[in-house]
Chains A and B, each alone.
Chain A
């Protein structure tokens, strides 16, 4: 973007909002909105607390396990639905329902199945993340030109090569987009799981801060989480950029 002939750096709009936040915060209009500088100070203090470090380890662990499971189940399931009509007919409806359902409502039910602990939170991450991965993978596989499949068959490709050398690669741009969206939903899942079920990790911190009106710490934690989600999705975006050269010409 250029403004009055000057090139404005990418994140400049963020700066505008930070300044606005600072001004509104200093006006002392609402207690829930402390000045942005206070939030930054709170963030610096927060990351030094053992309770934050412990919560981060707990949260990251549940998030990573849940995501790995969602990716490992979601991609094969999406491929199956993309390739086999019967599987698509059987599962399509459910995947669509789950991907648009208010999953927070299901989380307490998970508790009955998995108990008050990490398992429930992993299940929440899995449930939040998997559906978009399934849908995007399915769309990617559906998108593959039939002649590419015929080409592989005509040159005698065994089944593993058809999937490993053609289908995965041809659907990769969609699969990566699905993973990126899934990661963002997974971040949501981990926090909602921790809030609703087992009061551990970030859920416990959020609960403590909001109940005691420690707003600057509350916002600091929110921003840390937000930054984490942004960084993770930026990493996937970099991977997406690597396959972009063929995404438009398949």
Chain B
């Protein structure tokens, strides 16, 4: 088995072969605190890239800048070759706290992105039903969010993002409000969904294990100011039994290696 490919600063800025999202010189300061400084990053098409780092490293800020929800002070975000500064249909966001409409059923929540785009009711509900089933919630279409567990609510959030058929899915710590058992199951399902969906995922997490478990590429951010410190491409075969990954020597080595790198930032 090959070792993890660790890129250093020298080759980091070299554009990837087919980058769907390009981040160029992004800086952001919040009330005197420098959240991000000169971040340059490429996100390859069809891959799952994680933004990993301790709290305060600006990973969520960077994700929201890519989403167009926060304006950067300097720099630009290019998606599919076009510069963007606002949310657009080629990107869909999955929220840490789910952000579901509590007064709407699962089906309406999943279809909500299409509803905002003016898709006819029957058409959007047909599409939504398919994705509700895809994320494993068939039979729960008419339930309300408060009747679901945390894990199920985030499945609704994920189905809503899949429903609008965006090229890039932006996930902001989607499992942090989900209990441990459900999180594991959800991570497995995400690996399966990825192979079927052929989309680009950008995933923010503070869990090293989670990042190594699901990512093709891990971007380590250092805190205050947030900068790219390393990019790691774990070479893990995810085709077989997902439980095997957790015992894979290479998986364990990569987790350990990242932890050694991040240790210095943890007080």
Chain A residues near B (Cβ < 8 Å):
145, 147-148, 150-158, 161, 165-166, 169-170, 172, 243, 245-246, 249-250
- Within 81-129 of B, Cβ neighbours of A (below 8 Å) are at 87-89, 91-93, 95-97, 99, 101-103, 112-113, 115-117
Which residues does chain B contribute within 8 Å of A172, judged by CB atoms? 103
| A69 vs B145: C-alpha distance when bound (angstroms) | 35
- Please name 15 pairs of A and B residues whose Cβ atoms are closer than 8 Å in the assembled complex, sorted by A: A147-B96, A151-B93, A153-B69, A154-B68, A155-B113, A155-B116, A156-B116, A156-B117, A165-B115, A165-B116, A245-B144, A246-B102, A246-B103, A246-B144, A249-B145
Task: Determine the residue in chain A with the shortest Cβ distance to B112.
Answer: A155
Q: Are B99 and A156 in contact (CB under 8 A)?
A: no
Given A152-B116, A155-B112, A155-B113; A169-B99 close (CB under 8 Å): no
Given contact pairs A166-B101, A170-B103, A250-B102, a sample of 16 additional A-B residue pairs in the complex whose CB atoms are under 8 Å apart: A145-B97, A147-B99, A150-B64, A150-B93, A152-B116, A154-B68, A154-B91, A154-B92, A154-B93, A155-B87, A155-B117, A156-B87, A156-B88, A156-B116, A156-B117, A249-B102
| A145 vs B96: C-alpha distance when bound (angstroms) | 12
Asked if B220 is at the interface of the complex by the 8 Å CB criterion, the answer is no
Task: Determine the residue in chain A with the shortest Cβ distance to B145.
Answer: A249
Which residues does chain A contribute within 8 Å of B92, judged by CB atoms? 154-155
| A243 vs B101: C-alpha distance when bound (angstroms) | 13
| A169 vs B116: C-alpha distance when bound (angstroms) | 15
Given A145-B99, A147-B99; A154-B69 close (CB under 8 Å): yes
Which residues does chain A contribute within 8 Å of B91, judged by CB atoms? 154
Q: Are B145 and A151 in contact (CB under 8 A)?
A: no
Chain B residues near A (Cβ < 8 Å):
64, 67-69, 87-89, 91-93, 95-97, 99, 101-103, 112-113, 115-117, 144-146, 164
Which of B64, B92, B93 has the largest number of chain A CB atoms within 10 A? Answer: B93
Which of A148, A154, A165, A243 has the largest number of chain B CB atoms within 10 A? Answer: A154
Q: How far is the CB of B232 from chain A (nearest CB, A)?
A: 28
Q: Are B99 and A150 in contact (CB under 8 A)?
A: yes
Q: How far is the CB of B226 from chain A (nearest CB, A)?
A: 20
| A158 vs B95: C-alpha distance when bound (angstroms) | 20
Which residues does chain B contribute within 8 Å of A148, judged by CB atoms? 99, 101
Tell me how many residue pairs across A and B have CB atoms closer than 8 Å.
60
Q: Are A150 and B95 in contact (CB under 8 A)?
A: yes
| A169 vs B115: C-alpha distance when bound (angstroms) | 16
Given A246-B144, A249-B145; A153-B87 close (CB under 8 Å): yes
| A48 vs B204: C-alpha distance when bound (angstroms) | 73
| A9 vs B196: C-alpha distance when bound (angstroms) | 60
Q: How far is the CB of A93 from chain B (nearest CB, A)?
A: 26
Q: How far is the CB of B80 from chain A (nearest CB, A)?
A: 16
| A84 vs B140: C-alpha distance when bound (angstroms) | 38
| A250 vs B104: C-alpha distance when bound (angstroms) | 12
Q: Are A156 and B89 in contact (CB under 8 A)?
A: yes
Q: Are A249 and B146 in contact (CB under 8 A)?
A: yes
| A148 vs B97: C-alpha distance when bound (angstroms) | 9
Q: Are A246 and B116 in contact (CB under 8 A)?
A: no
| A161 vs B99: C-alpha distance when bound (angstroms) | 16
Q: How far is the CB of B132 from chain A (nearest CB, A)?
A: 17
| A157 vs B146: C-alpha distance when bound (angstroms) | 24
Given A154-B69, A155-B113, A157-B116; A243-B95 close (CB under 8 Å): no
Which residues does chain A contribute within 8 Å of B88, judged by CB atoms? 156
Q: Are A155 and B164 in contact (CB under 8 A)?
A: yes
Q: Are B95 and A147 in contact (CB under 8 A)?
A: yes
| A29 vs B95: C-alpha distance when bound (angstroms) | 69
Task: Determine the residue in chain B with the shortest Cβ distance to A243.
Answer: B103
Q: How far is the CB of B67 from chain A (nearest CB, A)?
A: 6
Which residues does chain B contribute within 8 Å of A157, judged by CB atoms? 116
Given A156-B116, A169-B103; A246-B69 close (CB under 8 Å): no
Q: Are B67 and A154 in contact (CB under 8 A)?
A: yes
Q: Are A154 and B87 in contact (CB under 8 A)?
A: yes
Q: How far is the CB of A6 from chain B (nearest CB, A)?
A: 35
Which residues does chain A contribute within 8 Å of B97, judged by CB atoms? 145, 147
| A1 vs B213: C-alpha distance when bound (angstroms) | 56
| A245 vs B95: C-alpha distance when bound (angstroms) | 23
The 7 closest A-B pairs by CB, nearest first: A246-B102, A151-B99, A249-B146, A154-B93, A147-B99, A155-B113, A154-B87
